Amino acid sequence: MRRLLATAALASALAACTTTGAPAATTTAAAPKSPYESEILATVDRFLLAIGNHDDEALEEILITEGVSWIQTITPGNERPVQPYTNASMMEPDPDADPFIERYWDPSVTVRGGLAQVWAPYELRDNGEQVHCGIDAFDLVFLDGAWRIASVLSTMEPESCATMMPSSPAAMRPRDGWKETPSQ
């Protein structure tokens, strides 16, 4: 008798799962874009231009120096430990610093109140040569009326560029303002 009741319950549950051919209604909707998204991406653009051009004045306006950023080098079969860098160390003068270009594409922006995060693949070029690609994740906070970079999480993946690059360089940003090889 128990087996008969269990079988009947299972058959009843399976019958409830059958479809009538009508598509199921979806209740998920794309999250609306934040009205601050363009300001946030402009801040990331200014940060990359400042760091690549070694413009300490511009960097000081954008970067929260008390923060800590983290970088990890990843090559096939070898993930090095994640390394911390104080944001203040990004502003230490380096007379031998060579300008470089770091551009990103397809950014994912998440905003909640005065906190934001941008996650995007990127490419770094130096002296016109591709050095590596990776993922940049920028944490931003809204302070004193402006978005500022609190920390940067970054992978450096020299062997991943072939699989990460966008289909067109036009998708990359920032496009202009580089001291080195501005037409790439």
Query: 């020299």: which residue's tokens?
Result: 158
CATH topology of domain 35-171: Nuclear Transport Factor 2; Chain: A, (3.10.450)
pLDDT confidence bin for 15, thresholds 50/70/90: very low
pLDDT at 93: 75
Domain spans of the chain? 35-171
Between β-strands 115-126 and 129-143, what pairing exists: parallel, antiparallel or unpaired?
antiparallel
In this structure, the dihedral spanned by the alpha carbons of residues 89, 92, 95 and 98, taken in order and rounded to 10 degrees, is 40
pLDDT exceeds 60 at position 42: yes
pLDDT exceeds 70 at position 9: no
Task: Kindly report the pTM of this predicted structure.
Answer: 0.79
pLDDT exceeds 60 at position 11: no
pLDDT confidence bin for 65, thresholds 50/70/90: very high
